Structure 1
Amino acid sequence: MKFSRIRSAALAVGLTATTLTACAQQADFDEVGRQMAIMLQNSHFARLPFNDMGPRFLEDFIRDLDSGKVYFTQADIDRFNREYGENLSEMIMKQDSMRAAQDIYDTFKKRVEARVAEAKKMLASEEFDFTKSESLQRSRKDAAWPKDEAEAMSIWRQQIKEAVLSENLRRDMIAKLAEKQGKPNPLKNDKDPKEKLALRYERFHHSVVKDVDGEDVAAMFLSAVARSFDPHTDYMSTREMDRFRDGMKNELVGIGALLQGEEDGATKIMGIVVGGPADKQGILKLNDRVVAVDPDGDGPKEMVDIMFMKIDKVVDLIRGQQGTPVQLKAEPAGGAPGETNLISIVRDKVALKDEQASAEIIEMKGKDGENSRLGIITLPSFYADFDEGKVRCSVDVERLLERLKDEGIDGLLLDLRNNGGGALEEVRRMTGFFTRRGPVVQVRNTFGEIQVKESEKEPIYDGPMIVLTDKSSASASEILAGALQDNHRAVVVGESSTFGKGTVQQPMDIGRMLPFFKARNKAGTLKVTIQKFYRPSGSSTQKMGVIPDVVLPSLTDALEVGEAFLDHPLEHDMIRKAPDFVPLKEEQLFLPRIKELSEERVKASKDFAYISEDISKAKARIRDNKVSLNMADRKKELDEIDQQQQQRNVERKARFAEVQKKDKEQLAFYKLTLDDVEKGGDLRAFDPSAENEQYMRRAKDETAELDDTPQWPSALDPHKREGVMILNDLVDITRNARMAGLLDR
């Protein structure tokens, strides 16, 4: 018995040591690919035939690398199809796929090296003739692959020529604007256009050739395989998963600086978070240029040269564990040539306050002397901390909503524009703030089993409500907007539809699925579509999105934006209405009258007329799909655009001044942040057209400041202003109907 215990203990020690060794080594990505394939076949909603999908895997990987069809040739494509196309599914299952991935990437790298070498040669020696009547395609998405290297180089030379022409025209335009406004030309001391473009190509070359290791190639290939099932199934490397978690938490551990890659290879400090580690330390300044990073501070690691390195990899070097130092080698802004500083900063948590929920109140004078207090909640995403649960957007919105209710708001606008979604549980909980208990969303798995998720608490706010959406409102945003629309609880206002993402993804750790003795370090995560969600009415938001009750013109109507334009989207479908779903009376939204009043304003709006005009022109440009290489033609085109813009600006400046004057007479604005709620006290009045508090100090962009397009009056863009007006209409109509005894809720 004693011997047995000793032997078992020794065996346990041996297993632990072996396991630790396996964990320390990097995972075999051939094995990772095989396990991911098994997980896709077992877990993906659509149950696609994996063995038949090799050609699609190949096509998607190639397109990810060369979407513009300027690097690979038809001969390359033919070889890839011949050697891998029909075999790729089998190669993945036989743990032999990385050979194909590396071969394809090596070919891509070779082609990029050839193209960049040609670009440098042309930029160094060639004088470009911009008097010829030449053009090239704006988009080569539907073009044929170049038949050989000679044709590929011919297309590439045209693109170099267009890049030189565009850079020269850009500089001419900026010089004219600066002269017209009596300001110094911000590009006066800039590098020669050709030299600047050569550096841009060098950065691209570095990002493809020198900045990519085997892990990166594996991640690109496995991501293409995963996304062949649908646009939202994806492989995420360990680095990508860490960034995803930070984004969901709305916080990160770093130094609190916004970085931008410069064309000469350095990384420029474009922003510093107020109160963040870099701000508190005080040495790093805006416009400083970082050229090297020691991720270990004073530890055993050495400075890493980051010249021409991808920004995400620079970020990975700078981020780390809370309380640890990182050292930057930086060229100070305005310093002498060659001057550098070594700056050590201790990493700490940085809250992304710009991405938090926030609120405001607009107090609007009524025609009858009765004022309306309109609350606005802006929610950038459905964020949540999956690890510790300390950060939850539903908790933040609840706090803001309770305060708005205490302030006696008469109506609420929930702004979900540019909200790409997030945590499903957060939207389920949040819907209950506005509706009585009942179905919020239905979730169906691949076996057809349907689960109804309901709100759990009594509503906090039951007054007039508007939901403002656009084409970027996706996933959780669509669940919330769809549930409120189905319940006849709110009027949805916005662009022609929301994004149309009606699927649910679950992250799965691939390392946990690897054989016990296999190395699992950096195996990555499969984010796989396991369910589709449906509105309480039974309609999926997939591909179709949520169609607003009041549709406003938008430039996105001319662009390919939305789920339907992505590769391999799942289809829209319907299921039965959720059991026990009893919506409110639609008549109590007064939609016919609301639409009538909005249509009158939109028809009379000069800004919406401009938008409609831009939509028509954008559609024409996309259909034409050509860009001229003739200097005179391009100047004429740009002059026409500039003339139109100047005419609009003259008209807008006069009109906006009148609108701003009326706003000051009729509107009062109050700001409400989560910090304000925490501190308590009175509301803070603010001028939305003035410079207000910022969570990040940003570097001055002298080129952008030459744009003399006037700012929207009171910072209300046409869509937000119309949303506010619709909300005010709804408040007035509801108030009158209640006084007349026409409402029963």
Structure 2
Amino acid sequence: MSILRIRRAAMAAALAATTLTACAQQANFDEVGRQMAIMLQNSHFARLPFNNLSQRFLDDFISDLDSQKAYFTQADIDRFNRQYAKDLSAMLLQENSMAAAKDIYDTFRQRVEARVAEAKRLLADNHFDFTQQDSIERSRKDAAWPKDEAEANANWGKQIKEAVLSETLRRDMIAQLAEKQGKPNPLKNEKDPKDKIALRYERFLHSVVKDVDDEDVAAMFLSSVARSFDPHTDYMSTREMDRFRDGMKNELVGIGALLQGEEDGATKIMGIVVGGPADKLGSLKLNDRVVAVDPDGDGPKEMVDIMFMKIDKVVDLIRGQKGTPVQLKVEPAGGAPGETNLIAIVRDMVELKDEQASAEIIDMKTPDGEKARVGVITLPSFYADFDEGKTRCSVDVERLLERLKAENINGLVLDLRNNGGGALEEVRRMTGFFTRRGPVVQVKNTFGEIQVKESDAKESIYDGPMVVLTDKSSASASEILAGALQDDNRAVIVGESSTFGKGTVQQPMDIGRMLPFFKARNKAGTLKVTIQKFYRPSGNSTQNKGVVPNVILPSLTDALEVGESFLDHPLEYDRIRVAPDFSPMKKEDLFLPRLAELSTERVKGSKDFSYVIEDVTKTKARIRDNKVSLNLADRKKELDDIEALQHDRNSERKARFAEIEKKDKETFTFFKLTLDDVEKGGDLRPFDPAKDNEEYMKRAKDETAELDDTPKWPSGMDPYKREGLSVLGDLVKITRNARLAGMLDR
């Protein structure tokens, strides 16, 4: 080999070794911050003037740490403003922003330590006078910062007092309910209210002081900077990104257990996934308490004390590579004091079946004797496996829809309530199941360039009567689908006053890949940045306004600040031109005025919706008042009034629901249809939705919750689903009559 070749080989080996070392080393978060700042300037849709955003970066970071203004004082805020308000943008670009982040967080940590110490002192003094006419603000979001420590401690003292009062009243109420129902008091062995609250603050102190490392501080700060551009641009640490991918795939590698942090510091087993590793082993039981975790089982690592540890960090210890062991130190439920067991579980893939698309078929009889068979598809999210593509919600919905079509349904309800969105490609493909080929969504980039995304289906799978159920939690991809079907006059949208109002598209960008070649990049994290806005085929944006249903139903969210427009720094609503070649169907064929008229009549006569309207009025008044009494007699009267109202409502409901259940048995026949059912084939499975729920997870018994005697919805259908089915029934009937009369082409 020549000298030149030897030198080249040595240089290549050195470069490879340097690259491997850089990849293995922890990234420098000052460098990560600089690179993220560059990426935001180059990629974000809004092209905001980065150098003018220092004050916003600072304000948002402070707000994220102390949104209720309980810890920082005005003196702290004044110092932060003097030192950082004008310079954070430059500090990010100059690779020294972490000094500011750590300084602010260290001050926050000190204030939390001081407040928790004060809480322990107040609780130990054991003297709270609940006879005074005093109150505390329900929300301090818009209040002034405490001017000094004395004022901060005065506010804090009221907060501790309210916590003790609330816990005392809660226990009294539960004891009374248990006595009325002839059941044992589930809280009889609970610690004293003051001791319990002290433990609550101990857990909070641990989460702020002992459970936060430099990576966590960097993630919090960089996330605040990113979200200063818009609510959905975000920095995600490596741990957060892994969780995000697992959520999108609807599966994860772990033991299949649902965890809950207890106030005394332990982590309680609240659920066990049926068929998961923990369930198959059988050693771990519901209500067991985990106190330590060895993340590599019998490997070189040691047991990690998880007392008071954040749940997400406990989860990170328990999850890992498929086929590897994890060992838990467990206090068994019902065991002797001090008793512990070591349980080793081999990690495996856990499928989250309760997050998958599912369906049901309902055979309905109308009062005049007509029959209809309708299908209901429930889609919790637009999930997809971005890595391997094995899991896709559009494929799952397609399989369910083909089976529903084979069962000769006359109408379809697509339930998108609580669906926060997901993969854009999935919604584009799914829209084609219900419409002929055409525009689904338009996307505009920062340069004003518009791209039309069409469904790729040559013909629809289902073209019959259709209702889409939405609520304020239906966001992003849900709004694209609902908006496209509404614009095309293909479906009737039924639900709360609007959907969420997220009209933006995000793209995850690996920051490590963008760092200079020789820089360490391990755990650099991901920037999820808004790169586009999307628009409906009609040119309307869903941004801030959402999708307004054709049939609007009363909802408690009408009294709450829920939706894009209530978030910090949302992008503006606007319009673009109508999509080329967009040719909607006849709006008259949906019979919207008549459907709305019939629905309004039912809502006016609905006792359940009247309760909702009454609660909206009261909730708005409470929010406006923004005060919580610290007087025991006043608070007890408030709770007694609420309990009396709830008792009257439940008494009325029990009698009415029994009658509805009786009528439902004559009117409805229910059949369950899961993805497993479609896979296996065979006949439909009749089921009682009020009783026969698919058990994907064994759940711990909550004795306190069982004291709530509010009756379950008749046939398992809440008022919104029931009204959605009624609207669909009207649509099926009117469409059928119109066809018979020759008024419809299709």
Counterpart residue identity of residue 607, structure 1: D
Q: 1:15-61, CA deviations, whole angstroms, 9 ceiling, x for partnerless residues?
A: 11111111121000000000000000000000000000000000000
* Deviates most, 614-623 or 690-699: 690-699
Give distance in 2, aligned partners of 1:453 and 1:428. Answer: 7
Alignment of 1:495-644 (within 5 A): 495-644=496-645
Counterpart residue identity of residue 206, structure 1: H
Give distance in 1, aligned partners of 2:381 and 2:157. Answer: 42
Report the equivalent of 2:327: 327
Post-superposition offset of 1:674: 0.2
Post-superposition offset of 1:125: 1.7
Give distance in 2, aligned partners of 1:511 and 1:340. Answer: 43
Q: 1:208-251, CA deviations, whole angstroms, 9 ceiling, x for partnerless residues?
A: 00000000000000000000000000000000000000000000
Report the equivalent of 1:231: 231
* Deviates most, 181-190 or 4-13: 4-13
Report the equivalent of 1:464: 465
> Given the alignment of the two structures, is residue 492 of structure 1 paired with residue 465 of structure 2, yes or no?
no
Query: In structure 2, the residue corresponding to 1:533 is in which secondary structure?
Result: strand
Give distance in 2, aligned partners of 1:669 and 1:322. Answer: 39
Counterpart residue identity of residue 261, structure 2: G
Give distance in 2, aligned partners of 1:470 and 1:539. Answer: 19
Post-superposition offset of 1:366: 2.9
> Given the alignment of the two structures, is residue 23 of structure 1 paired with residue 23 of structure 2, yes or no?
yes
Give distance in 2, aligned partners of 1:591 and 1:696. Answer: 41
Give distance in 1, aligned partners of 2:299 and 2:527. Answer: 34
Give distance in 2, aligned partners of 1:691 and 1:185. Answer: 29
Give distance in 2, aligned partners of 1:186 and 1:64. Answer: 36
Give distance in 2, aligned partners of 1:144 and 1:522. Answer: 38
Post-superposition offset of 1:692: 2.2
Give distance in 1, aligned partners of 2:231 and 2:673. Answer: 37
Post-superposition offset of 1:431: 0.1
Post-superposition offset of 1:94: 0.4
Give distance in 1, aligned partners of 2:51 and 2:116. Answer: 38
Give distance in 1, aligned partners of 2:113 and 2:635. Answer: 30
Q: 1:542-593, CA deviations, whole angstroms, 9 ceiling, x for partnerless residues?
A: 0000000000000000000000000000000000000000000000000011
Give distance in 1, aligned partners of 2:448 and 2:274. Answer: 50
Alignment of 1:134-283 (within 5 A): 134-283=134-283
Counterpart residue identity of residue 516, structure 2: P
Post-superposition offset of 1:7: 1.0
Give distance in 1, aligned partners of 2:86 and 2:651. Answer: 61
Counterpart residue identity of residue 353, structure 1: K
Q: 1:673-702, CA deviations, whole angstroms, 9 ceiling, x for partnerless residues?
A: 000000001110000111422100000000
Counterpart residue identity of residue 200, structure 2: R
Alignment of 1:327-726 (within 5 A): 327-457=327-457, 458-726=459-727
Give distance in 1, aligned partners of 2:211 and 2:561. Answer: 31
Q: TM-score, normalised by structure 2?
A: 0.99
Counterpart residue identity of residue 29, structure 1: F
Report the equivalent of 2:40: 40
Query: In structure 1, the residue corresponding to 2:671 is in which secondary structure?
Result: strand
Structure 1, unaligned stretches of length 5 or more? none
Report the equivalent of 1:727: 728
Give distance in 2, aligned partners of 1:294 and 1:125. Answer: 40
Give distance in 2, aligned partners of 1:137 and 1:692. Answer: 42
Give distance in 2, aligned partners of 1:321 and 1:461. Answer: 42
* Deviates most, 3-12 or 483-492: 3-12
Counterpart residue identity of residue 64, structure 2: D
Query: In structure 2, the residue corresponding to 1:64 is in which secondary structure?
Result: helix
Counterpart residue identity of residue 696, structure 1: M
Post-superposition offset of 1:618: 0.1
Post-superposition offset of 1:5: 1.4
RMSD: 0.6
Tell me which stretches of 4 or more aligned residues in structure 1 moved more than 4 Å: none
Query: In structure 2, the residue corresponding to 1:272 is in which secondary structure?
Result: strand
Counterpart residue identity of residue 678, structure 2: V
Give distance in 2, aligned partners of 1:370 and 1:71. Answer: 64
Q: 1:118-144, CA deviations, whole angstroms, 9 ceiling, x for partnerless residues?
A: 111111123110000000100000000
Give distance in 2, aligned partners of 1:132 and 1:686. Answer: 56
Q: 1:608-652, CA deviations, whole angstroms, 9 ceiling, x for partnerless residues?
A: 000000000000000000000000000001111110000000100
Give distance in 2, aligned partners of 1:123 and 1:698. Answer: 34
Q: 1:501-538, CA deviations, whole angstroms, 9 ceiling, x for partnerless residues?
A: 00000000000111111100000000000000000000
Give distance in 1, aligned partners of 2:367 and 2:725. Answer: 16
Give distance in 1, aligned partners of 2:604 and 2:126. Answer: 53
Q: 1:312-344, CA deviations, whole angstroms, 9 ceiling, x for partnerless residues?
A: 000000000001000000000000001001000
Give distance in 2, aligned partners of 1:741 and 1:456. Answer: 32
Give distance in 2, aligned partners of 1:628 and 1:367. Answer: 51
Give distance in 1, aligned partners of 2:79 and 2:596. Answer: 58
Counterpart residue identity of residue 187, structure 1: L
Query: In structure 1, the residue corresponding to 2:706 is in which secondary structure?
Result: helix
Give distance in 2, aligned partners of 1:657 and 1:441. Answer: 45
Aligned length: 745
Give distance in 2, aligned partners of 1:167 and 1:424. Answer: 45
Counterpart residue identity of residue 287, structure 1: N
Give distance in 1, aligned partners of 2:579 and 2:442. Answer: 7
Counterpart residue identity of residue 315, structure 1: V
Identity %: 82
Post-superposition offset of 1:368: 4.2
Give distance in 2, aligned partners of 1:370 and 1:3. Answer: 92
Report the equivalent of 1:83: 83
Q: 1:390-442, CA deviations, whole angstroms, 9 ceiling, x for partnerless residues?
A: 00000000000000000010000000000000000000000000000000000
Give distance in 2, aligned partners of 1:550 and 1:610. Answer: 19
Report the equivalent of 2:743: 742
Give distance in 2, aligned partners of 1:398 and 1:68. Answer: 46
Report the equivalent of 2:12: 12
Query: In structure 1, the residue corresponding to 2:190 is in which secondary structure?
Result: coil
Give distance in 1, aligned partners of 2:711 and 2:179. Answer: 19
* Deviates most, 475-484 or 734-743: 734-743
Give distance in 1, aligned partners of 2:720 and 2:360. Answer: 17
Give distance in 1, aligned partners of 2:8 and 2:382. Answer: 49
Counterpart residue identity of residue 362, structure 1: I
Give distance in 2, aligned partners of 1:482 and 1:731. Answer: 21
Q: 1:261-298, CA deviations, whole angstroms, 9 ceiling, x for partnerless residues?
A: 00000000000000000000110000000000000111
Report the equivalent of 1:73: 73
Alignment of 1:307-326 (within 5 A): 307-326=307-326
Give distance in 2, aligned partners of 1:387 and 1:426. Answer: 15
Structure 2, unaligned stretches of length 5 or more? none
Post-superposition offset of 1:369: 3.3
Post-superposition offset of 1:466: 0.1
Counterpart residue identity of residue 515, structure 1: P
Counterpart residue identity of residue 60, structure 2: D
Give distance in 2, aligned partners of 1:532 and 1:523. Answer: 27
Counterpart residue identity of residue 646, structure 2: Q
Counterpart residue identity of residue 232, structure 1: H
Query: In structure 1, the residue corresponding to 2:223 is in which secondary structure?
Result: helix
